[in-house]
Structure 1
Amino acid sequence: MQKILFANIGWMKRYRGHSNSDRIKGGGSYNPDDKHEAFNFQDADGHCYGYVQPTKWSEIKIERIDSSCLKSDDYLDDVIVVWTATNPIEGGTYIVGWYKHARVYRTFQHDTKLKERNGYDYNIEALSSDCTLLMEKERTMQVPRATNALKKGFMGQSNIWYADSANEKVANFRLSVIHYIDNYVKPERRKTKPNIDVDAKVAVEKAAVSAVTSYYKGLGYKIHSVESENKGWDLEAYKGKAILRIEVKGLAGSQISVRLSKNEYSKMKETDNGCYRLCVVTEALKSPEIWTFANDNGIWVCEEDNDIELSFDEQIAAIAYVEK
């Protein structure tokens, strides 16, 4: 039987370290900057080192993952580790990613040489090529919680769930997760190339602003246009205490390459830019598609595809584009 472990952590977009635009949500009452799982999908010399906090700082009972494992064993290999987290907006626990062929340690490991993890502890590791992090929009598979007798055997309050109950519903869910992971196909990444000759026409820009406005309204934001105020962004989006400053760029085609004015570029580079978003709308007049870029430790990463990052050709202002 396939060895599997469910590990519940806080919610992030990338799990590649703390940043103004990717703050961990949930995962306990500790200071967000001290939550070790923030680095769970950070590539460190070809490996990912994962952290999950067992109940009361106890150990992971690896003999529950594989009954042939001895209590004296320090680790167990070839485990599927399924990372879960609570959606901070909609609620509910969802699968956010997984490690295949992982090594699960009974106790915490500490390696000060792992600068990519700030020297934080870990208790799970795998080759980065065996690690898959789902985009937020892909996190649709919910994990039942043991909230009543009908869900007995499912994930409880502990961050560790062994899914080893004899309950038929648990066994079926376990199989469905393994099938989902085995058959997962990463969404095709849009291939783009620089095109520094893009001239944003008025019609395209209006369509782009309209598309972005509708998108954020759909997310529950109130939108205020500041296009005429020369602030360095076009829209301000409000939801509760949250505020986003959104610069909108519209394109007639599908190649992501936009010109930024000196003012816009300076606002992007400010140190306090966690709430700044650059929204590029491709094919704005036909079938608008929004690509939202946020600052993540100095790298402008696409919120719709974390593998897409902006590059900049700094001139009098700047040209932002996505490399092939």
Structure 2
Amino acid sequence: MKILYCRVGWMESYKGSATEGPQAGGKYNQENIGYEVYNYLGYEGEYYGFVEPGVNNTIHVERLCGDKKAELAEDVLIIWVAKKSSGGQYIVGWYRNAMVYRTLQDVPIEAMSIRKSKKHNVYNIYSKNVYLLGLNDRKFLIKGMGHSNIWYGNSEIDCQVLEYIQDYEKQYNNRIGKLEEKLSDITGGEREAIVKIRINQDKFRDSLIKKYNGKCCLCGVDYLSMLVASHIKPWVKSDKYEKLDIENGLLLCPNHDKLFDSGLISFDSKGKIMISSKLDKNNQIFLNVNNDYEIKMTDENASYIKYHRDNIFVE
């Protein structure tokens, strides 16, 4: 298997946060350029990653594919590495089956539409199969990479890394599998309802409870056993990474969860509630829908909210 180690700045989400810039990662990040800030902001399941290539903005793809004239190498395992503030370079995530380009490419217009910063418009690594580790899971120390942003590894470290990520992916896929194992004969609304019930016992819900301090993020209801871990972009439409991405979730009371899933409410780009014309004034009162309601929007969840607004919301 072809492996490429790519050193980037240290971030939590790599989704273009306005409150978090990349730390370390090379001299170019001293000016907070950090094109890798969008490495995990996918568009329709496609991810456009960046690593600072160095001299002439070129990656020597011939070392991956054996062809000196090639402009890209395919089916590469990308290991994203970043330096902790406390020292040491650790794996923060990876792209499987990636394409690595010799030179910088322009991010497609469609993918740029969800990027707040329009200057971050180039990439050199592409994949549909991505994994990002949470802060507490970034424990694999990479030794031997030195100060280079690109490293081609060696057999000893490659074997250790492959064993590590295979174990991680097995556990990750098992979690998703358990959520789906009883759904093979169920379709439509029933399927989504059962997924949601099962997610309520999953780490996904626990993370949302922590994020929103155990309260409905819209109305503040804090009856914990009644709160629902609601996917913004529906489970059945999400790729493997998005299914368990905490930024693809809202913690909602049952009323607001059902309204949100049905597209009767959504949120604008600032987090202010949008109410469907299908929901009359009386039902707005009965269902506790208030024109003043809003949620806290972040750069990390903005693309998911936009998806819901464009594809689920009923005007």
TM-score (norm 2): 0.55
CA distance in 2, matches of 1:159, 1:191: 38
Residue in 1 that maps onto 2:83: 86
AA aligned opposite 2:60: K
- The amino acid that maps onto 2:157 is F
Distance change >3 Å, CA 308–CA 60, structure 1 → 2: same
2:78 corresponds to which letter in structure 1? V
- What residue is the counterpart of 2:103 in the other structure? 107
In structure 2, C-alpha distance between the alignment counterparts of 1:281 and 1:10, rounded to whole Å = 40
Q: Which residue of 1 aligns with 2:172?
A: 186
Report the Cα offset of residue 75 of structure 1.
0.4
Instruction: Mark the CA change 1:64 to 1:282 in structure 2 (over 3 Å): closer, same or farther.
Output: farther
SS of residue paired to 1:34? coil
Compare the two structures and name the one with the higher strand fraction.
1
**What is the correspondence of 1:175-254 to structure 2 with a 5 Å cutoff?**
175-183=159-167, 184=169, 185-186=171-172, 188=175, 191-192=199-200, 249=213
Q: Which amino acid aligns with 1:308?
A: G
Go from structure 1 to structure 2 and tell me whether the alpha carbon gap of 1:92 and 1:155 turns closer, same or farther (over 3 Å shift).
same
* Distance (Å, rounded) in 1 between the aligned partners of 2:41 and 2:35: 11
3-state SS of the aligned residue for 1:173?
A: helix
Distance of 1:281 and 1:157 partners within structure 2: 50
Q: Is contact 1:47-1:125 (8 Å) kept?
A: yes
The match for 1:161 is 151
Uncovered stretches (5+) of structure 1, i.e. residues with no partner = 145-153, 165-170, 194-211, 213-246, 262-279, 284-290, 292-303
Counterpart in the other structure of 1:71: 68
Q: Equivalent residue for 1:133?
A: 132
Whether 1:308 and 2:249 are equivalent positions in the alignment is yes
Shift of 1:192: 3.2
Q: Distance in 2 between matches of 1:281 and 1:60?
A: 53
The structure with the largest alpha-carbon Rg is: 1
Aligned to 1:205: none
* Identity across the alignment (%): 29
Are positions 1:26 and 2:24 aligned together? yes
Contact 1:75–1:104 at 8 Å: present in 2 too? yes
Question: Structure 2 unaligned runs (5+)?
Answer: 177-197, 202-209, 230-244, 257-272, 274-288, 297-315
Which residue pairs with 1:53 in the alignment?
Answer: 52
CA deviation after TM superposition for structure 1 residue 248, in Å: 8.6
Question: Which residue identity does 1:133 align to in structure 2?
Answer: L
CA contact (8 A) 2:75 2:96 kept: yes
1:157-186, Cα deviation, whole Å (9 max, x unpaired): 11001014xxxxxx2221111122222222
- Find the residue that maps to 2:7 and give its secondary structure: strand
1:38-90: CA deviation from partner (whole Å, max 9, x where unpaired): 00011123210110012234411122224xx21110001000000011112x3
Aligned to 1:6: 5
Cα distance in structure 2, aligned partners of 1:109 and 1:319? 38
Distance 1:36 1:27, change over 3 A: same
- Tell me the distance in 1 between the aligned counterparts of 2:212 and 2:156: 46
TM-score after normalising by structure 1: 0.54
Residue number in structure 2 paired with 1:233: none
| Separation of aligned partners in 2, 1:103 and 1:248 | 37
- Equivalent-residue separation in structure 1 for 2:290 and 2:107 (angstroms): 42
